Structure 1
Amino acid sequence: MRRLMLLRHAKSDRPEGVDDHERPLAKRGRQDSPLMGIYMAKERLRPNLAIVSTARRAKDTWKLARSAFKHDISRRKEPRIYYASASAILDVINATKPDVKALLLVGHNPGLQDLALKLIGKGSPSDLSRLHRKFPTAGLVVIDFDVKRWRDVSEGLGQLQRFETPTSIGRLTGSG
């Protein structure tokens, strides 16, 4: 069994004169990132490895979310997932070492949304419908695969376990 978690970077700012790769998080992004981390830790959605886009907004999203976990989580910066296609992201996943059971990718749309929709074969119709419509910033998709190796992860094999956003988590906790 393998668990793949896809976390879209949180809401970013667009300061004038700042290169896209270096865009910082907006105020909302700085609030949503730790919220998603707290949710992940509370729900025991702890990755063995976090593969994070080299974009500043993705690195900052993970840094703020990561603070909710008590134990160290291995992290690898990965330039290949910065605005990558679904197939390029899948190549990164397929190359993951077999000792990793729960993998988190922190990246960008449209690649993450396209990848999730390609990999999911089964799941809650309402969650799938929401994911088809939009994968908002700081959104989290959790997909399980009944495979022995990451290289066996392919289209349609995934079971969507959950799709959460800062808004849906706020509804769950009664804080939003």
Structure 2
Amino acid sequence: MKQLILMRHGKSSWDYDASDKDRPLKERGINDAHLVSKTFKIHAPQMDFIYSSPAIRALHTSMIFVRNLDFDLSNFSINNELYDFSGDNVERFVHRLDNNLKTVAIFGHNYAFTSLANTWGDQYIENVPTAGLVHITFGVDDWSKISKGITKQMVFPKHLKK
């Protein structure tokens, strides 16, 4: 069985004159990433590896998760293919993952993550929000063979706020 955690970056700030890759998180994005990661930690599977887009907003979100989950940074990597908005590069990336990895989390962007959550999961999601997490399980042992899985968990900030 393979497990994939899709995590969209937190809310980014447009208050700075920065390139898209260099846009930082807003305070809300930081707070939401903490909220989602601490909630996810309660039922989180043991992750073998975490990959992040090189965009600052995705990288910062992933570091909040790494810290809150006490994850070993030696099993973390930045990958340029995850700086993708269509989902094509992310899909190819996932299909090429090392089959020794059972559970992988990836941090990236929309529209890619909503599209892939709907392609791979069994629950329709209109939009994976910023700092939204979708956990999908697949009944195969080969990443290249994943297709339709089971949406095991969705953790969205708006569901956690009162």
> Shorter-chain-normalised TM-score: which range?
over 0.9
Where do 5+ consecutive residues of structure 2 fail to align? none
Q: 1:83 to 1:15 in 2, by over 3 A?
A: farther
Residue 67 of structure 1 and its aligned partner are, at CA, apart by 1.2
In structure 1, what residue type is equivalent to 2:57?
A: R
Aligned length: 161
Q: Map 1:82-161 onto structure 2 (within 5 A).
A: 82-120=83-121, 122-123=122-123, 128=124, 131-132=125-126, 134-154=127-147, 157-161=148-152
Q: Calculate the TM-score normalised by the size of structure 1.
A: 0.86
CA contact (8 A) 2:16 2:23 kept: no
C-alpha offsets along residues 47-73 of structure 1, whole Å, 9 cap, x if unaligned? Answer: 211110000000000111221123415
Measure the CA separation in 2 of the matches of 1:57 and 1:97. 26
CA contact (8 A) 2:40 2:155 kept: no
Q: Which residue of 2 aligns with 1:52?
A: 52
Q: Which residue of 2 aligns with 1:81?
A: 82
Q: Which residue of 2 aligns with 1:38?
A: 38
Measure the CA separation in 1 of the matches of 2:71 and 2:89. 30
In structure 1, what residue type is equivalent to 2:58?
A: A
SS in 2 for 1:5: strand
**What is the percentage of aligned positions where both structures have the same residue?**
26
SS in 1 for 2:153: strand
Deviates more, 1:56-65 or 1:43-52: 43-52
Q: Which residue of 2 aligns with 1:164?
A: 155
SS in 2 for 1:67: helix
| RMSD of Structure 2 on Structure 1 (CA) | 1.4
Q: Map 1:21-36 onto structure 2 (within 5 A).
A: 21-36=21-36
Where do 5+ consecutive residues of structure 1 fail to align? 171-175
In structure 2, what residue type is equivalent to 1:78?
A: N
